[in-house]
Chain A
Amino acid sequence: MIPVAFYFVLSALLFFIGVFGFVTRRNLIAMLISVELVLNSADLNFAMFNRILFPGQFEGFFFSLFSIGVSAAETAVAIAIIINVYRNFKSDQVNRIENMKL
């Protein structure tokens, strides 16, 4: 059996890699991937806590599945936005669309 700490470390690594990627990358697609990493770390936590704390029950697994479904939908919306941004700005760099702030 894999010790619990391994899951924590993996989840924390995924989370901070995602945050780091989100903050440092300028490419919108890369930022989207980073967000997905953050989400995955949360999914991993759901699955892990279900497994350790409530063996024989499935709420945490289903929550992970839901989260994956939602993130797929979110990715579709985000891709659509990114494509539109690209069409309008001819760029996928996040610092080029700063004037959308107002």
Chain B
Amino acid sequence: MDYSYVYLILLLPVLSFLVLGLLGMKMNHKTAGLIGTVAVGAVFVLSCYTAYQYFIGIGRGADGLYPTVTAFNFTWLKFTELLTFNIGFRLTPISVMMLVVISTVSFMVHIYSFGYMHGEKGFQRYFAFLSLFTMSMLGLVVATNIFQMYLFWELVGVSSYLLIGFYYPLHSAVAASKKAFIVTRFADLFFLIGILFYSFYVGTFNFDLTADPVLAGKVAGASWVMPMALFLMFIGGAGKSAMFPLHIWLPDAMEGPTPVSALIHAATMVVAGVFLVASLFPLFVQYAPEQLHWIAYIAAFTAFYAASVACVQSDIKRVLAFSTISQIGFMLVALGVSMPDPTSVGVAMTPEYADAQGLGYMASMFHLFTHAMFKACLFLGAGAVIHAVHSNEKAYMGGLRKYMPITHITFLISCLAIAGIPPFSGFFSKDEILVACYNFHPVMGIVMSGIAMMTAFYMFRLYYVIFWGKSYYETHKGEEGVHAPHEAPATMTFPLIFLSLITCTVFLWADKAGQFVSANGHGFTTHINWPIATASTVLALLAIGLATFMYKGEKTPVADKLAKTFPTLYRAAYKRFYMDEVWQFVTHRVIFACVSRPIAWFDRHVVDGFFNFLAWGTNEAGESIRPWQSGDVRQYAIWFLTGSVALTLILISLL
């Protein structure tokens, strides 16, 4: 069995992008949407088939590992024998898993967009960009080398930029798209520097250094550069994955259409950083275990920060955005804690995971999968709500459960999943992450449990303010511009149901997650760690209870009182702890004022001045001798004669 058909996975979205991009304006909305959706649907089928082939059809090789299959690999640029830039298609357990995640969410988002974007201006453009994004993201995860990954990395960046700025007449959308592009591009600069360090000293772009003995020798000689190169690459990943302090673009990216937020800014693109670290995981383990721990600390702080901000935001998409940041923090923490902490007291809480270093890796990928499904569902649900009430602000919602039953149920299921309530998917993946954290260090475990509790709290706060509480419609009935919220059309509810069904059915195979993806490639059976699972479930239920107590009612006296009692804290959290202002200060007051302005002054006055002087001098000289060319031949003759006489006289005097 071969994988010769996989090129279609990349080709179909490209074709769809080209057709829609070039001919889209000549089509009606339905045709354009169908082309995009059918292409992505085919990709979805192919991806599922590939996953089936990879995991079940062919399965493990003789050595008990899933083989790394390179379906095709073109050499694009050849620098040296080993250092070649290839474009190819590589299948590993995580890339196959990502194929399924991306194509599933993308397909669902395409279907959903039929309803959500119905009648919007630029409908064809929207689907063209979605196709471009899908192709880029798929290319990213199947990259055979880090340079190809970087190429597609930039492509997802640009498609994200295009889609955030989809409503380009809106000033805020333009500003948000620029911000997203600049911040991620700034982080990508470090990624590029990391790649350059890596390729210069190791002499390859490959992920796998064990393949060639020459490389192993080279990397042994350059082992000092590996931690730095890998950490620089992680900074690139941190930019895409919105890690503190590079997270500032993600909340603003919610200016884009909601299905885009679901696809790009929740399920796929923002986990590119996690995928990057996972792809480089063997290198991290071997050469930079210390940096892996830094990643865990940064991610844990980000998770905490984002969770605390999410508790007070009033724009429902912002809540989900911060929740995404927090959950990506969980994934990166899980990767970071895969290596045992040397300072850990080493409480062996889980004897069944003797080789605990694989657990965090598996947990991270598992959480990536489950999170993509339930977070996409949450975003799409939020989109359905926004579609119904025409606002992002929670003040315009409330009491929607009666009007939007399907959205309500699917949203509730996803909330339960993200809160970690069994038997929904989030419970299993979060449990594995927490086990890995407790194995790493009990403090890390306790911190992450606390953040998980906050997650449950803010998600249910969101749930209650949307679907319970005081109904805006009922209190403002009859006013101008207020009309009854209605359930979304079938194109929008189907993806919600589909994604929530996945969320509900993960428990059927949760114990096999370790069979598919593991750090060393060998499968293991995951167990639920009952003490941790029970504790986290109880904590989550407590948080949900608190959220119910505070936000379920028509009035929210406790929440209002808390906001009034701690106004500084409330305002600070609402303003995202002034991180945007800090960046504003750093860029405008420090970088622009102290570095850019003097350089610009030097450029304008010294460099430009010199060349302007040259041009001015030439011009002046020309202007002053211009009258000499009068066109009067006789005058020329006089000059000529005078010159000749003068020369003659000089010659004579010299003689």
Identify the A interface with B (CB < 8 A): 19, 22-26, 31, 94-95, 97-101
Taking a contact as CB atoms closer than 8 A, the residue among B631, B634, B638, B641 that contacts A99 in the complex is B631
Which residue of A22, A24, A31, A100 is within 8 Å of B631 (Cβ)?
A100
Residues of B within 8 A of A100 (CB): 631
Main secondary structure of the interface of B (DSSP, over half): helix
Residues of chain B contacted by A25 (CB below 8 angstroms): 634
Q: Are A23 and B638 in contact (CB under 8 A)?
A: yes
Q: Shortest 9 CB-CB distances between A and B: which pairs?
A: A101-B631, A98-B631, A23-B634, A22-B637, A23-B637, A23-B638, A94-B633, A101-B629, A98-B632
B630 interface residue (CB < 8 Å to A): yes
Hey, which chain B residues are within 8 Å of A31, CB to CB? 633-634
Q: Which A residues touch B638, using CB under 8 A?
A: 23
The reply to whether A19 and B633 form a contact with Cβ atoms under 8 Å apart is no
Interchain CA distance A23-B633 in the complex, whole Å? 8
Contact partners of B641 in chain A: CB under 8 A: 19, 23
Closest partner residue, chain B, to A26 (CB atom) = B634
Contacts of B632 in A (CB 8 A): 94-95, 98
**B contacts, CB < 8 Å to A:** 629-634, 637-638, 641
**Shortest Cβ distance from residue A101 to the other chain B in the assembled complex, whole angstroms:** 3
Further pairs besides A19-B641, A23-B638, A101-B629: 11, Cβ < 8 Å? A22-B637, A23-B637, A23-B641, A26-B634, A94-B633, A95-B632, A97-B631, A98-B630, A98-B631, A98-B632, A101-B630
Contact A22 B629 (CB under 8 A): no
Q: Kindly provide the distance from the CB of B632 to the nearest chain A CB, expressed in whole angstroms.
A: 6
- A-B pair count, CB < 8 Å, reads 26
Task: Name the distance in Å between B6's Cβ and chain A's nearest Cβ.
Answer: 68
Q: Is the interface of A mostly helix, strand, loop or mixed?
A: helix
Q: Which residue of A lies closest to B638 (CB)?
A: A23
Contacts of A97 in B (CB 8 A): 631
Cα A85 to Cα B637 with chains together (Å): 20
Q: How far in angstroms is the closest Cβ of chain B from A69?
A: 24
Q: Quick check: A22 and B634 within 8 Å, CB to CB?
A: yes
In chain B, what residue has the closest Cβ to A28?
A: B633
CA of A1 to CA of B633, assembled, Å: 41
CA–CA, A67 to B192, complex, Å? 77
Chain A residues near B631 (CB, 8 Å)?
97-101
Contact sample, A vs B, 19 pairs, CB 8 Å cutoff: A19-B637, A19-B641, A23-B634, A23-B637, A23-B638, A23-B641, A26-B634, A31-B633, A94-B632, A94-B633, A94-B634, A97-B631, A98-B630, A98-B631, A99-B631, A100-B631, A101-B629, A101-B630, A101-B631
Contact assessment for A24 and B634 in the assembled complex, using a CB-CB cutoff below 8 Å: yes
Which A residues lie within 8 Å of B634 (CB)?
A: 22-26, 31, 94
Residues of A within 8 A of B633 (CB): 31, 94
A95 to B630, CA, bound (A): 10
Query: Once bound together, how far apart are the Cα atoms of A95 and B633, in whole Å?
Result: 8
Residue of B whose beta carbon sits closest to that of A23? B634
Distance between B153 CB and nearest chain A CB, rounded to angstroms: 57
- Measured CA separation A19–B633 after assembly (Å): 12
* Interchain CA distance A94-B629 in the complex, whole Å: 15
Report how far A85 CA is from B95 CA in the complex, Å: 83
A24 CB to closest chain B CB (Å) equals: 7
Residues of B within 8 A of A101 (CB): 629-631
CA distance A65 to B423 in the complex (A): 120
Q: Which residues of B contact A99 (CB under 8 A)?
A: 631
Q: Shortest distance in angstroms between A96's beta carbon and chain B's nearest beta carbon?
A: 10
Q: How far is the CB of B407 from chain A (nearest CB, A)?
A: 78
Alpha-carbon distance A51/B132, docked complex (angstroms): 95
Q: Could you say which residues of chain B place their CB within 8 Å of the CB of A94?
A: 632-634
Distance, CA A42 to CA B396, complexed state (A)? 107
